[in-house]
């Protein structure tokens, strides 16, 4: 969209939907088309909000605006989903809100106290600018900005919220009150109306909006149980029945604790209805994706401290859009809960909280858990704005403002009686996608899982960060142990077990690759477009902040580096402005991987961790990798030894004669055999010899060793037989 004054003036007027002419209609259509592309097929729309104008339209004007919005939705091949109505009383700042939960037909009305101002968030995708003058909204969400609140009012509000939450009737269907309905009907005749909509693009059967949500929290917080209830639509029996549908291994089912990264999906139709229908206790992912316009992919991570490395890899390698932080109401924020919350904050991923087991928790324990949770979220390290969700209007308000990364909704739920589960599903349906498609850039795909399927071959799974990858495309796979990228062809593509013809940036997919063995690929490798001309690196410079370390960190310190799908131990080679790093220090650090080169890019977030040492940072500069710098001299000499043997003819005696190339006999011994402790390996001027892979070398050595062993055994057996005779 162009930024000329005439276009901006058209879009910032609240009367723009009232009988627009062809130019105005085309301008609005182009704007909404851009917003749908940026939101991967979704955007929010407010009718009756203008820049510097009093909010609201009369019912007659609103009807005309709704007709124009429906025409725009049809021209854009999209669905116009009504979210809520807000009545603005004339001559006052109060407003009454009527909310319609899409897909369920539930209408809820809430009326805030008069005299309290409210505003529309600048982070919404609306047709008005973000000045916010004269805009109002309902205040059913208690939000504190953390700037010295009044203790008495906060404690009173928390007690009211917690006491109301402990009752079993907290669902969206039980919120409507007769007093607010009467006030809404009275304000309809004298006030103005504001309507909010969700514009969702119609997609093909093999295309859908994919939102990834990582589920973290302490052990026994109910992570797998909640996912089993959400995805299968059946409540838990209180003894772990729901989680058995998600656990992958036998020892997980026996102990009830997740030890690996598990995935499950929740599909929503174009109208916001859940489409998950388990068949004989199992979910058919392909049928769910075909019937869904939006799919929520849950990444179930381990909560035990023993599997922290797996949890960190799930957070960095699987690139989640959001983090669902689980807290048990009976236990509170204990154990690894703070570690997982700090991990999400270090990666700059938005967080929303789900408090489980409220059906079995006493009121005083639930009150203490909520107070502790609010204090942690408001602390200087988090700087979140917690909002306790108790109505559908709260869900819509938080979902439309959740991309700010400071908003933190809190859902108290129960997996046994189903309290507030419908509010959580509505929130997941309204979550916008955060990943940028970057379709104009070249293809970049990171690998986080590897499988071997009989009859198909090697399967890789991961996330497409940019570009478009189609069937039969030739991409570069690497880096391997020598830092090289090898061309590979895409044989088939699947998204959520559904065969597709292409995958674009921001989506997860699985590829079947042609002529690729399982030992030729590993986690952390990437698929890149050949035009990028990628180079691996074994050394890189990063800006690191030490969050915690018991003593000091100096040159030579080694720790595990997590950067995207890369997980490898690295050594500190140099510190820029410090001799030693302590807790709270920040410096430019030169790292070096100890095993093999990796593919990194500037701006990538990394986590540096070992034991109690915790540090976060960002990659700033890369040092190109040279194969001559990091090469195993023993493998090189063995390769030259074997190639020298294969080039010589067989003697009449049947034995091989080993000869050294003539041009290497005059070289000094120090030039031909270098020490393994040096970084530079001298390469003598040898004749061009055939290239034999190291795998063939090892195979030939094993065969020769086994043949010699059999010959020695036979000779020993004949000798013993002669002696006995």
Residue 142 has pLDDT above 70, yes or no: no
Query: What's the order of all strands across the beta sheet hosting 351-356?
Result: 262-268, 294-300, 209-217, 322-328, 351-356, 407-412, 385-388
Question: Which of 122-136, 458-472, 485-499, 699-713 is least confident?
Answer: 122-136
- Which residues, in sequence order, are CB contacts of 148 under 8 Å at separation 6+? none
CA distances 344 to 340, 608, 630, Å, are 6, 14, 35
| CATH 2.40.30.10 domain range(s) in the chain | 444-532, 537-624
How far, in Å, CA of 397 to CA of 407, rounded? 10
Rounded mean pLDDT, 189-217? 87
CATH code of 444-532, in short, is 2.40.30.10
Instruction: State pLDDT tens for residues 618-672.
Output: 999 999 888 654 444 444 444 444 445 444 444 444 444 434 444 444 444 333 3
Q: Give the model's pLDDT for residue 271.
A: 87
Q: Which CATH superfamily is domain 209-430 in?
A: P-loop containing nucleotide triphosphate hydrolases (3.40.50.300)
The helix, strand and coil proportions of the chain, stated in percent and rounded to the nearest 5, come to 30, 30, 40
CA distances 633 to 292, 331, 588, 679, 681, Å, are 56, 56, 32, 10, 7
Band of residue 321 on the pLDDT scale cut at 50, 70, 90: very high
| CATH 3.40.50.300 domain range(s) in the chain | 209-430
SS3 of residue 356 by DSSP: strand
Band of residue 716 on the pLDDT scale cut at 50, 70, 90: low
| Strand intervals (E) in 103-245 | 106-110, 192-201, 209-217
Instruction: State pLDDT tens for residues 408-439.
Output: 999 999 999 999 999 999 999 999 888 888 88
In our burial notation (b when 16+ CB lie closer than 10 A, e otherwise), range 576-610 reads eebeebebebebbbbbbbeebbbbbeeebbbbbbe
Instruction: State pLDDT tens for residues 379-414.
Output: 998 999 999 999 999 999 999 888 777 899 999 999
Q: Residue 639, Cβ neighbours under 10 Å: how many?
A: 18
Nearest to 218 by CA among 309, 354, 312, 326: 326
Strands 498-500 and 526-528: unpaired
Rounded mean pLDDT, 2-9? 58
Nearest to 597 by CA among 625, 629, 617, 569: 625
How far, in Å, CA of 146 to CA of 373, rounded? 14
Q: Give the model's pLDDT for residue 140.
A: 37
Instruction: State pLDDT tens for residues 572-581.
Output: 999 999 999 9
| Cβ–Cβ under 8 Å, residues 234 and 242 | yes
The verdict on domain 537-624 having CATH code 3.30.460.10 is no
Residue 213 has pLDDT above 90, yes or no: yes
Rounded mean pLDDT, 144-154? 40
Instruction: State pLDDT tens for residues 237-268.
Output: 887 777 777 766 777 666 667 777 888 999 99
Name residue 655's beta-bridge partners: none
Instruction: State pLDDT tens for residues 287-306.
Output: 899 889 999 999 989 888 88
């Amino acid at each position: 969209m162009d930024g000329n004054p005439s276009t901006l003036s058209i879009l910032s007027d609240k009367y723009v939907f009232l009988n627009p002419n062809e130019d105005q209609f085309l301008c609005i259509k182009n704007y909404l088309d851009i917003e749908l592309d940026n939101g991967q097929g979704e955007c929010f729309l407010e009718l009756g909000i203008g820049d510097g104008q009093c909010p609201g339209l009369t019912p007659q004007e609103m009807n005309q605006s709704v007709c124009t919005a429906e025409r725009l939705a049809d021209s854009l091949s999209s669905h116009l989903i009504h979210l809520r109505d807000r009545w603005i009383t004339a001559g006052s700042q109060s407003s009454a809100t009527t909310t319609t939960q899409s897909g369920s037909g539930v209408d809820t009305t809430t009326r805030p106290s008069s005299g309290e101002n409210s505003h529309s968030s600048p982070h919404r995708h609306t047709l008005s600018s973000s000045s916010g003058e004269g805009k109002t909204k309902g205040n059913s969400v208690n939000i504190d900005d953390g700037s010295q609140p009044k203790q008495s009012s906060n404690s009173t509000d928390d007690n009211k919220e917690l006491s109301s939450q402990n009752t079993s009737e907290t669902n969206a269907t039980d919120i409507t009150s007769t007093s607010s309905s009467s006030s809404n009907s009275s304000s309809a005749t004298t006030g103005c109306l504001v309507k909010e909509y969700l514009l969702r693009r119609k997609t093909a059967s093999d295309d859908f909006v994919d939102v990834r949500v990582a589920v973290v929290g302490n052990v026994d917080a109910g992570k797998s149980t909640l996912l089993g209830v959400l995805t299968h639509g059946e409540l838990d029996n209180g003894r772990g029945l729901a989680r058995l549908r998600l656990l992958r291994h036998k020892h997980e089912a026996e102990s009830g604790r997740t030890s690996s990264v598990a995935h499950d999906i929740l599909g929503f139709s174009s109208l916001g209805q859940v489409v998950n229908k388990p068949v004989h206790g199992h979910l058919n992912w392909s049928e769910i994706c075909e019937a869904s316009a939006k799919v929520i992919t849950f990444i179930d991570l381990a909560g035990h401290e023993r599997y922290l490395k797996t949890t960190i890899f799930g957070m960095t390698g699987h690139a989640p859009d959001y983090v669902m932080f689980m807290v048990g109401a009976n236990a509170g924020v204990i154990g690894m809960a703070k570690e997982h919350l700090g991990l999400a904050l270090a990666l700059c991923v938005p967080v929303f909280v789900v408090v489980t087991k409220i059906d079995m928790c006493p009121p005083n324990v639930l009150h203490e858990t909520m107070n502790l949770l609010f204090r942690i979220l408001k602390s200087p390290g988090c700087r979140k704005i917690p909002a306790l969700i108790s109505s559908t209007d709260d869900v819509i308000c938080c979902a439309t403002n959740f991309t700010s990364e400071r908003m933190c909704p809190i859902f108290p739920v129960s997996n046994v009686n189903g309290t507030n589960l419908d509010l959580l599903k509505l929130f997941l349906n309204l979550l916008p996608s955060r990943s940028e498609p970057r379709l104009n850039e070249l293809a970049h795909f990171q690998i986080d899982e590897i499988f071997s399927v009989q009859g198909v071959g090697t399967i890789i799974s991961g996330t497409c960060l940019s570009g478009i990858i189609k069937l039969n495309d030739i991409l570069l796979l690497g880096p391997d142990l020598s830092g090289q990228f090898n061309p590979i062809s895409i044989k088939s593509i699947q998204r959520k077990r559904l065969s597709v013809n292409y995958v674009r940036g921001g989506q997860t997919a699985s590829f079947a690759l042609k002529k690729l063995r399982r030992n030729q690929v590993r986690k952390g490798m990437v698929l890149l477009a050949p035009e990028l001309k990628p180079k691996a690196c074994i050394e890189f410079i990063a800006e690191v902040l030490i969050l915690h370390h018991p003593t000091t960190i100096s040159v030579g310190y080694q720790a595990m580096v997590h950067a995207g799908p890369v997980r490898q131990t690295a050594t500190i080679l140099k510190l820029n402005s410090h001799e030693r790093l302590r807790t709270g220090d920040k410096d430019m650090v030169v790292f070096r991987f100890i095993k093999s080169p990796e593919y990194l890019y500037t701006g990538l977030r990394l986590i540096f961790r070992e034991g109690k040492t915790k540090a976060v940072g960002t990659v700033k500069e890369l040092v190109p990798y040279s194969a001559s710098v990091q090469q195993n001299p023993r493998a090189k000499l063995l390769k030259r030894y074997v190639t020298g043997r294969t080039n010589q003819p067989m003697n009449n005696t049947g034995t091989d004669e080993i000869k050294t190339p003539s041009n290497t006999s005059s070289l000094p011994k120090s030039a031909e055999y270098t020490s393994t402790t040096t970084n530079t390996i001298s390469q003598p001027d040898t004749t061009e010899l055939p290239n034999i892979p190291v795998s063939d070398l090892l195979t030939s050595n094993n065969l020769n060793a086994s043949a010699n062993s059999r010959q020695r055994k036979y000779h020993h057996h004949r000798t013993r037989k002669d002696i006995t005779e």
